[in-house]
Structure 1
Amino acid sequence: MMSRFRIILFSCLLVTKAVAQETLTVEEAVAIALERNYDLKIAKNNTELADVQASTLNSGYFPTVSASSGVNYSDENQNVQFLDGTTTAVDGAVTESYNASVTAEYVIFDGLVRKFTHQNNKENLNLVKLQERQQIENSIISIYEAYFNTAFQKRVVDNLKLNVENSKDRLDRAGRKLKYGQGTKLEELNAQVDLNNDSISYIEAFRDLNNLKRNLNLLLGRNVSTDFEVNTEVFFKPEMDKQFILEAAERENIQVLLANQNLLLSDLDIKINKAQFLPKIVGSGSYRWNESQNPPTSFALQNEAYGVNLGLSLSWNIFNGTNATRVKTAKITKKNREIELIKAKEELVTDVLNSYETYSIAKYTLEAETDNLETNELNFERTQKQFSLGQVTSLDYRQAQINLFNSRNNYARSKFDLKIAELNILQLSGKLVN
Structure 2
Amino acid sequence: MRSIFYTLPFILLFFGYAAHAQEETLSKEEAIDLVLENNLGIQVARNTKRIDDNNASILNSGYLPTVTANGGGTIDRQNTEGVLANGETRKAEGAETRRYNAALNVNYTLFDGLGRYYNYKSFKERSQQSELEVKQTIETTILQLFTVYYEVARLTENTNNLEQALEISKDRLTRARYQFEYGQNTGLDVLNAEVDINTDSINLLNSRQQLRNTMRDLNLILNRELSTGFAIDTTVNFVPGLEMESMHNEAKINNVRLQIVEKDITISNYNVKVARSNFLPTIGLTGTYGWNESNNNSPLAFSLQNTSTGVTGAINLTWNLFDGGRSITGIKNAKITYENQELFKKQIALEVERDIRNAWDSYNNALYVLEVQEKNLQTNQNNFNRTDERYQLGQVTSIEFRQAQLNLLNAELAKSQAKYNAKLAELQMLQISGQLLNVDF
TM-score of the two chains, using structure 2 as the length reference: 0.94
Query: Is the 8 Å Cα contact of residues 96 and 293 (structure 1) preserved in structure 2?
Result: yes
Q: Which runs of 5+ in 1 are unaligned?
A: none
Q: Find the aligned partners of 2:61 and 2:420 in 1 and give their Cα distance.
A: 50
Kindly tell me the number of residue pairs found equivalent between the two proteins: 433
1:185-200 counterparts in 2 under 5 A?
A: 185-200=187-202
Query: Is the 8 Å Cα contact of residues 79 and 87 (structure 1) preserved in structure 2?
Result: no
Alpha carbons of structure 1 residues 195 and 295: separation in structure 2 relative to 1, 3 Å: same
Residue matched to 2:303: 300
1:206-225 counterparts in 2 under 5 A?
A: 206-225=208-227
Residue 291 of structure 1 and its aligned partner are, at CA, apart by 0.8
Query: Is the 8 Å Cα contact of residues 22 and 229 (structure 2) preserved in structure 1?
Result: no
1:218-233 counterparts in 2 under 5 A?
A: 218-233=220-235
1:244 counterpart = 2:246 = yes
* Amino acid corresponding to residue 131 of structure 1 in structure 2: E
Cα distance per residue 1:370-394 (max 9 Å; x no partner)? 1111121222122122212211111
* Amino acid corresponding to residue 357 of structure 2 in structure 1: L
Query: Is the 8 Å Cα contact of residues 388 and 401 (structure 2) preserved in structure 1?
Result: yes
- Structure 2 counterpart SS, 1:287: strand
Tell me which of 266, 269, 272 is aligned to 1:270.
Answer: 272
Residue 3 of structure 1 and its aligned partner are, at CA, apart by 4.2
Q: CA RMSD in A?
A: 1.6
Q: Find the aligned partners of 2:176 and 2:89 in 1 and give their Cα distance.
A: 134
Q: Find the aligned partners of 1:217 and 1:298 in 2 and give their Cα distance.
A: 85
Q: Which runs of 5+ in 2 are unaligned?
A: none
Query: Is the 8 Å Cα contact of residues 95 and 292 (structure 1) preserved in structure 2?
Result: yes
1:13-412 counterparts in 2 under 5 A?
A: 15-16=17-18, 19-74=21-76, 76-81=77-82, 88-296=90-298, 297-320=300-323, 321-412=325-416
Residue matched to 1:424: 428
Q: Find the aligned partners of 1:290 and 1:323 in 2 and give their Cα distance.
A: 43
Q: Find the aligned partners of 1:86 and 1:23 in 2 and give their Cα distance.
A: 108
Q: Find the aligned partners of 2:91 and 2:231 in 1 and give their Cα distance.
A: 98
Q: Find the aligned partners of 1:197 and 1:34 in 2 and give their Cα distance.
A: 42
Query: Is the 8 Å Cα contact of residues 281 and 319 (structure 2) preserved in structure 1?
Result: yes
Query: Is the 8 Å Cα contact of residues 265 and 341 (structure 2) preserved in structure 1?
Result: yes
Tell me which of 413, 418, 422 is aligned to 1:414.
Answer: 418
* Amino acid corresponding to residue 350 of structure 1 in structure 2: R
- Structure 2 counterpart SS, 1:276: helix
Query: Is the 8 Å Cα contact of residues 370 and 411 (structure 1) preserved in structure 2?
Result: yes
Residue 7 of structure 1 and its aligned partner are, at CA, apart by 3.4
* Amino acid corresponding to residue 376 of structure 2 in structure 1: N
Residue 430 of structure 1 and its aligned partner are, at CA, apart by 0.9
Q: Find the aligned partners of 1:346 and 1:325 in 2 and give their Cα distance.
A: 32
- Structure 1 counterpart SS, 2:436: coil
Q: Find the aligned partners of 1:46 and 1:411 in 2 and give their Cα distance.
A: 43
- Structure 2 counterpart SS, 1:313: strand
- Structure 2 counterpart SS, 1:183: coil
Alpha carbons of structure 1 residues 101 and 371: separation in structure 2 relative to 1, 3 Å: same
* Amino acid corresponding to residue 215 of structure 1 in structure 2: D
Q: Find the aligned partners of 1:368 and 1:87 in 2 and give their Cα distance.
A: 123
Residue 363 of structure 1 and its aligned partner are, at CA, apart by 1.1
Query: Is the 8 Å Cα contact of residues 12 and 205 (structure 2) preserved in structure 1?
Result: no
* Amino acid corresponding to residue 136 of structure 1 in structure 2: I
Alpha carbons of structure 1 residues 210 and 83: separation in structure 2 relative to 1, 3 Å: farther
Q: Find the aligned partners of 2:41 and 2:183 in 1 and give their Cα distance.
A: 67
- Structure 2 counterpart SS, 1:433: helix
Q: Find the aligned partners of 1:126 and 1:66 in 2 and give their Cα distance.
A: 34
Q: Find the aligned partners of 2:365 and 2:253 in 1 and give their Cα distance.
A: 26
* Amino acid corresponding to residue 167 of structure 1 in structure 2: S
Query: Is the 8 Å Cα contact of residues 263 and 337 (structure 1) preserved in structure 2?
Result: yes
* Amino acid corresponding to residue 199 of structure 2 in structure 1: N
Query: Is the 8 Å Cα contact of residues 77 and 89 (structure 1) preserved in structure 2?
Result: no
Alpha carbons of structure 1 residues 378 and 62: separation in structure 2 relative to 1, 3 Å: same
Cα distance per residue 1:98-141 (max 9 Å; x no partner)? 22222111001100001001001000111111111111110011
Residue 83 of structure 1 and its aligned partner are, at CA, apart by 8.5
* Amino acid corresponding to residue 431 of structure 2 in structure 1: Q
Residue 254 of structure 1 and its aligned partner are, at CA, apart by 0.8
Alpha carbons of structure 1 residues 120 and 17: separation in structure 2 relative to 1, 3 Å: closer
Query: Is the 8 Å Cα contact of residues 250 and 434 (structure 2) preserved in structure 1?
Result: yes
* Amino acid corresponding to residue 111 of structure 1 in structure 2: G
* Amino acid corresponding to residue 79 of structure 1 in structure 2: T
Query: Is the 8 Å Cα contact of residues 256 and 345 (structure 1) preserved in structure 2?
Result: yes
Which range moved further: 367-376 or 302-311? 367-376
Alpha carbons of structure 1 residues 17 and 145: separation in structure 2 relative to 1, 3 Å: closer
Query: Is the 8 Å Cα contact of residues 111 and 277 (structure 1) preserved in structure 2?
Result: yes
Residue 91 of structure 1 and its aligned partner are, at CA, apart by 2.7
* Amino acid corresponding to residue 320 of structure 2 in structure 1: N
- Structure 2 counterpart SS, 1:27: helix
Alpha carbons of structure 1 residues 396 and 308: separation in structure 2 relative to 1, 3 Å: same
Cα distance per residue 1:345-372 (max 9 Å; x no partner)? 1111111111101111111111111111
Residue matched to 1:5: 7
Alpha carbons of structure 1 residues 309 and 189: separation in structure 2 relative to 1, 3 Å: same
Which range moved further: 96-105 or 186-195? 96-105
Query: Is the 8 Å Cα contact of residues 118 and 273 (structure 2) preserved in structure 1?
Result: yes
